[in-house]
Amino acid sequence: MPKKEMPAGSLVLLILRVLQSGPLHGYAIAQKIYVLSAEVLHVEEGSLYPALQKILLKGWATSEWGLSETNRKVRFYSLTPAGRAQLEAELADYSRVAEAIQSVLKTA
Amino acid sequence: MSEIFRRIQYLLNRRRMDEELAGDMEFHREMAQRGGRSNFGDTLRLREDAREAWGWMWIDRLGQDLRYALRVLRNAPGFTLAAVLMLALGIGVNVAAFGFFNLIVLKPLPVRDPDTLLRFKRSAPERYAYSLPYQEMAFVRSHAKTLSAVLALNTTRLTMEGKEGPALVHFVTTNFFSELGAAPKFGRLLDASRDEAPDAPLVVVLSHGFWRSQFGSDPSIVGRTIRLNGRVLAVLGITAEEFSGLSMDKPDLWVPLVQQPQIVTGSHLLTELNEGVGVRTWGRMQPGVTPQGVEQELRYIVAEFRQQHPAEIWEKESLVSQPGGYAKSLMIGDRSGTGTEQPDKLYPLAMLIGSLVFLILAAACSNLGGLLLARGVSREREISIRTAIGAGTGRLIRQLFTESVVLGLLGSAAGLALGYLVLKLMMAWTGAPEWLDASPDWPVAAFATGTGFVSAILFGLAPAIQVARQRHRSTFSKQLLIGAQVAASCVLLIVAGLLIRALDHALSASPGFEYEGAVAVMPGLGSHGYTPEQSRAYVDALKDRLRELPGVASVSATATPPLAGSNVMVVGVTIDDGRHLDVHWNRVDPGFLETMKIPIRAGRTLTSSDMAGILISESLARKSWPNENPLGKHFLSGEDATGAQVPYTVIGITRDARMDALEDPDSVDAYMLAGKDDLPKMAVVVRMSGSLESIVPAVSSIARSIDPRVHPRVQTLKGAFRQKMEGIERGTAAAAVLGASALLLACLGIVGLVAYAVSRKMKEIGIRMALGARPGHILSLVLAQFSRPVAAGLVVGIGGAAALSDLLRRQLFGISPLDPIAYVAATALFVGTVLVAALIPARRALRVNPTNALRCD
């Protein structure tokens, strides 16, 4: 199965979503998306970190120092209330668009 | 909002944030490697991409570009120096011109709250005056609710004991100093509560300059007395050096206006309502009031005042305001006139000067643009290496343009210094008042910086694009730059040529009257309180006594002494083709035309009974009544013996003569008998057959015997003429310097380009020489490519000069703004100089040795 790059714009949504269940470090975010997408969606370093920087700048997430499973000091990202609100808004948008696309695909 | 805040935090902690990011990514790699992946991109590149989200990358890039630009410029000191000098010249003249404009129009006077000051003039549909009768000012002062204070000023020259020549006295309202926020250097200044009372002792305040020159900066003068016009005044204090007052002349003394009648005995300044005597008037607006609001209120107040004085206050008179806290409002003085006021001459002149100095900048910029293109050739290697290692065209253009901006800013700094120096010299040269501070303030600094940026765009942007795309060898852009330089220098040379022609004409041609052997004696009777009758007696006595002197050929009187620039009365008339003519009103006695040797062309001269007769000059006759006989026609109107308005009848036509505005072809002169109101202003003109020196002591002794209080000013008309010429000489010199600098720039540009063309065509020249080409062929080979842009530039330049020169028309002493001699001479000078300049590098082509040239690459 070929690895798929993210459709533009949906990466932020996915990152926010995987952070919903608790703080994660950068690599864990990529891994979680990869695993949860049944190894279809592969998040490259080159798109993950710019997206994370954007999320931090917008105030949707904050970072804290913590220890990784390999005992290394890394940053853990966690959602802020603003991030939760953003996630909900983006989810609602996404479902609307997805439904719309679905209905076009089915009926056309 | 908080996002901006976070962005700024990222900017401030950039280094730490970058390290954290690097840490994250390093960890990511370690983990990924464990997961068995190894295809990583370039870390630096990835980090840069991530950092892009912060939005501050441009600062990093700008920093990089700046560092690189500085290094490049430091490595080419010759080029950098040449470029900065060229820009300093171009920006410097612009800064000087703007600095002057700034001083006059933009910079507030160094007084308290300059923005709430208004200066008033009387205005009615058919007349205007910049001084108000004292009573009108006083009426406004006591009634206006929109004004918190009214300031008034009257200037006179009076004799002071111990001082050579008259002292310039300003009579001012006692609130003058406190309203302007002036502090004394020593003693105190005028005070409304102590110096306004009718029985208050006579007092005087000394100006700083006068105190220094007359009393050697001795502070103990405060409390002592001086004798002014025979009266004893107590010295109250000395103003601070930087006090500007409200005039451009340099007053020696300030005396309370209410004390004027006691010092100038018999003066009716405070009671007289007639035009011609009055006070310059300023008002200070109440907070929150607009100038329109003030004018609105004053309209009612003046109308009310007119009900009390229907004869003296004009019909439909209003007081029109202009900002009073700027030097521009001080340059007007006491002008008055009938008809429409002549339009402001400052702005066309400012336009012209602005265009000329901009042309210098344009010439400097096109020159520099050429230099940058030529440098592009030597930077080809550098550019191709940078392209090869991944620099995009946009990045290269930005880098090259950054270099230009750095050059532009260096040029701004040098230009700012040069402009300050030029302005300072100019002001010292023209004797400007000391409080006019030429040192650059923020508008001037901003102007210099802005000009630096604009010039960077002018000279740097196009070459940057071309060099980055490696198209700098294209001849078209070079030809365009050459053409622009030629056009700009051509305009400057032609304007300089026109001014030189005008000056030459003014110095050699007669102004229409003979000024060489004549002297003007100006007793200033009005300021000594003479009534018209007393003045008539004084002038008659003076004339009679002067006629008895040996060497005196002719004596007569006039209210407007020729070339003196004082007491000038101008009537604006609009002639058929819509042009505005300034008719200079010469109020004279019957012998005046004979004394000035102005011949009568038709009709007859004035006699003492011609109260309603007028003589007009040929030009005025021709312009007002083309193809008609003007004799017997009615022209404007004046007061007859009973004070009623009667139209003047043209009784004679004189040869053209300009008594005052020599430079202005749109000014014409008319002569009529002096009326009753003119008598206290009369001056006497004396034509001498012998030497002029003997007249000065003779006048003094005669004047002493008639009235010892009056010390007439004596001036030879030749001296006055010289003074008038000095102004235009300076203007012409400045234009000539600008023209010469533009010519020099153009020559430098051409030399560089021709030298470049020769070195590129070495091989071709060698082949042609080997085949037997003559020197003429070789020269035309290297020069031909420049003939077309030079020709095009000349055409544009001549057209531009013709378009611009109309702004100069009224300064050219009647020389046509399209004067062919000036155009041909300037063009010939330009073509000749540039040709010689081009031949210097072109000769190198002739010395080419064909064998060597063919071998070289």
Instruction: Enumerate the residues of chain A whose CB falls inside 8 A of the CB of residue B35.
Output: 31
pLDDT (average), residues B71-78: 88
CB B190 within 8 A of CB B245: no
Residue keyed to tokens 């006629």? B547
Rounded to the nearest angstrom, the minimum Cα separation between A35 and chain B is: 13
Taking each helix axis from N to C end, the angle separating A45-58 and B14-34, rounded to the nearest 10 degrees, works out to 140
Q: What confidence tier does B343 reach under pLDDT thresholds 50, 70, 90? A: low
Three-state SS for B155? strand
pLDDT at A8: 60
Cβ B174 vs Cβ B195: under 8 Å: yes
Contacts of A50 in chain B (CB under 8 A): 49-50, 52-53
- The average pLDDT across B89-94 equals 92
Provide the whole-model pTM.
0.77
d(CA B509, CA B813): 10
- Give the closest of B2, B46, B55 to A45, CB-based: B46
Residues of A with CB under 8 A from a CB of B: 25-27, 30-31, 45-46, 48-54, 56-59, 63, 68, 70, 72-75
Burial state string for A14-52 with b = 16 or more CB within 10 A and e = fewer than 16 = bbbbbbeeebbbbbbbbbbbbeeeeeebbbbbbbbbbbb
Q: Do A46 and B49 touch (CB under 8 A)?
A: yes
CB–CB contact A58 B40 (8 Å): no
Nearest CA in chain B to A28: B28
Token pair in block for residue B403: 């270099």
Place of tokens 């006695």: B589
| CB-nearest partner of A46 from B7, B31, B46 | B46
User: Which residue in chain B has the smallest CA separation from A64?
Assistant: B20
Residue B647 in tokens: 């139209």
Interface residue of A42, A45, A64 to substitute, partner B, most B CBs within 10 Å: A45
Q: What is the pLDDT of residue B210?
A: 93
What's the ipTM?
0.80
From chain B, the residues in CB contact with A27 under 8 A are 27-28, 31-32
Chain B contact probe: residue of A49, A55, A76, A86 with most B CBs at under 10 A: A49
Nearest-CA distance B857 → chain A (Å): 49
Mean pLDDT of B71-90: 89
Quickly list DSSP for B142-181: HH-SSEEEEEEEEEEEE-BTT-SS-EEEEEE-TTHHHHTT
- Chain B's closest residue to A24, CA to CA, is B24
Under DSSP, is residue A25 helix (H, G, I), strand (E, B) or coil? strand
Closest CB to A75 among B20, B29, B30: B20
B166/B155 Cα distance (integer angstroms): 12
Say yes or no for a CB contact (<8 Å) between B27 and A46.
Answer: no
Q: Could you tell me which chain B residue has the CA closest to the CA of A59?
A: B3
Q: Measure the CA–CA gap between B285 and B116, rounded to whole angstroms.
A: 5
Q: What end-to-end distance do the CA atoms of chain A give, in Å?
A: 29
Taking CA atoms, what residue in B is nearest to A65?
B20
How do residues B468-501 score in pLDDT, each as one tens digit? 887 766 777 778 888 888 898 899 889 888 888 8
B756-798 pLDDT tens trace:
778 777 788 888 888 888 888 888 888 887 888 889 999 999 9
Rounded-to-integer distance, Cα B182 and Cα B203, Å: 17
* A70 contacts B2? CB cut-off 8 A: no
Name the residue ranges covered by the structural domains of chain A: 10-107
* Interchain CB distance below 8 Å, A57 and B3: yes
The residue in chain A having the minimum alpha-carbon distance to the alpha carbon of residue B9 is A57
What residues of chain B lie within 8 A of the CB of A75, using their CB? 20, 23-24
pLDDT tens column, B797-839 = 999 999 888 888 877 887 888 889 999 999 999 899 888 888 8
SS3 state at B816: coil
Q: What integer pLDDT is reported at residue B408 of this predicted model?
A: 94
A 10 A CB-CB count for B612 gives 18
**Which among B3, B24, B28 is the nearest to A58, CB-wise?**
B3
Q: Chain A residues with CB inside 8 Å of B39's CB?
A: none
* CB-based contact A49 B49, cutoff 8 Å: yes
CB pairs under 8 A between A and B: 69
- Work out the pLDDT band at B719, boundaries 50, 70, 90: confident
With bands split at pLDDT 50, 70 and 90, how would you rate the model's confidence at A1? very low
Q: Which residues of B touch A25 (CB under 8 A)?
A: 24, 27
The domain segmentation of chain B, as residue ranges, is 2-55, 60-109+350-473, 119-323, 474-510+723-857, 518-722
CB within 8 Å: B27 and A68? yes
* B695 pLDDT tier (thresholds 50, 70, 90): confident
Q: In angstroms, rounded to a whole number, what is the distance separating the alpha carbons of residues B107 and A80?
A: 54
B74, pLDDT greater than 70: yes
Q: What are the pLDDT digits (tens) for B531-565?
A: 888 899 999 999 999 898 888 889 999 988 888 77
Substitution target in B31, B43, B47, B52 with the highest count of A β-carbons within 10 Å is B31
**What CATH number is given for A10-107 in this structure?**
1.10.10.10
Q: Are strands B318-323 and B117-124 parallel, antiparallel or unpaired?
A: antiparallel
pLDDT at residue B579 greater than cutoff 90: no
